[in-house]
Amino acid sequence: MTIRAEINSRAQVLSACSVAVRPKMSHVAVAAIILLVTVSVVSGQALTANEFPNTIVLPGARSAEGIAIGEGSIFYASDFLAGDIFRGDLRTGKVERFIHPPTGRQAVGLKADIRHGLLFVAGGFTGQAYVYDLQTGTDLATFQLGGLINDVVVTKDAAWFTDSLLPHIYRIPIAPGGRPQTIVVTGPAANLSGFPNLNGIAATPDGQTLIVSHSALGAIFTVDPTTGASKFINGVVVPAIDGIILEGSRVYAVQVDLNQIAQIDLSPDLSSGILTAVVTNPDFEAPTTVARFGDRLVAVNGKYDTGFPPTATTYEVVIVVRPDEFPVH
């Protein structure tokens, strides 16, 4: 059944896999020194009042995980434990609780599919993925996929979800005639010796290659979306890696326990990379995921430094200038 069929039938639940795993989640705490000649460390500069706010508090959130950019300066952020989705404006700082789902749902990574007017949400320990209407927040579809559904990326014809417990990537088509498909990852990215495993996910513009982060290994990999074969991207060690985005040949990788975002420039064939900048900011507190808006990076604070579940009283989005916007000395 396709997403559009789900829209017509108003969210019939499909069961592609019935793995029920509910271990306690913890982020990998890693202390590491990365020595690369070309690395610059930049700290987010303060923004003037007529530009962007430095932080945007998510009102009433009891956790936070995912961030996505919609139309214009609209953003969406997820409350991991409650499953709520917030919608706000990066320029004005105004934000509201946009989606309050049924009890029992969770919301980890999310992506806005502006072309089709859909919001895809990874359902964490529920093993599910959810699809909402991007404009109204209407609940359109639920898919039962696997173990710990952590993050999602959208290509022109599908949404792709990672599983942090199983060596699986799930493809949900955005076209008639398809059903959710499980891609079994092979090669080095299939390593399950630690936890979490597969985490962040990005895709090349043509959709021919997926890039995934592996938290336990502190590494990034390419994955063939057809065969599941993975290859290590050489030259970069990224301890405590969480969410990632791909912009051209550049990866931005959140390092949750290190309170920073790594900027990694990839070779044309994606076989290797080099760390070219590290973004820090005093407002970072265990950031988990990142999105790009023009010359800004937008991150969300998970605050797992307080424990799991986190015990902070507020959770916020943090807006910083991208490294390229800083003067080069």
Dihedral pair phi/psi, residue 89, rounded to 5°:
-120, 120
Residues 178-199 pLDDT 10s: 689 999 999 999 999 999 999 9
CA distance linking residue 203 with residue 212, whole number of Å: 9
How much of the chain exceeds pLDDT 90, in percent? 81
The whole-number average pLDDT for the span 87-113 is 98
Any idea what DSSP says for residue 234?
Answer: B
Percent helix, percent strand, percent coil in the chain, to nearest 5: 5, 45, 50
What pLDDT does 178 receive?
Answer: 61
Give 168-173's long-range contacts (Cβ < 8 A, gap of 24+). Answer: 168/198, 169/198, 169/201, 169/210, 169/212, 169/223, 169/225, 169/228, 170/16, 170/129, 170/143, 170/145, 170/146, 171/225, 172/3, 172/120, 172/129, 172/131, 172/143, 173/2, 173/3
For residue 327, whether the previous peptide bond is cis, meaning omega lies within 30 degrees of 0, is no
| Residue 323 DSSP SS3 | helix
Residues 5-53 pLDDT 10s: 433 333 333 333 333 333 334 443 333 333 333 454 544 444 444 489 9
CA distance linking residue 315 with residue 62, whole number of Å: 7
* Beta bridge pairs of residue 78: 85
Domains of the chain, start order: 3-325 (2.120.10.30)
By C-alpha distance, which of 140, 110, 136 is closest to 123?
Answer: 110
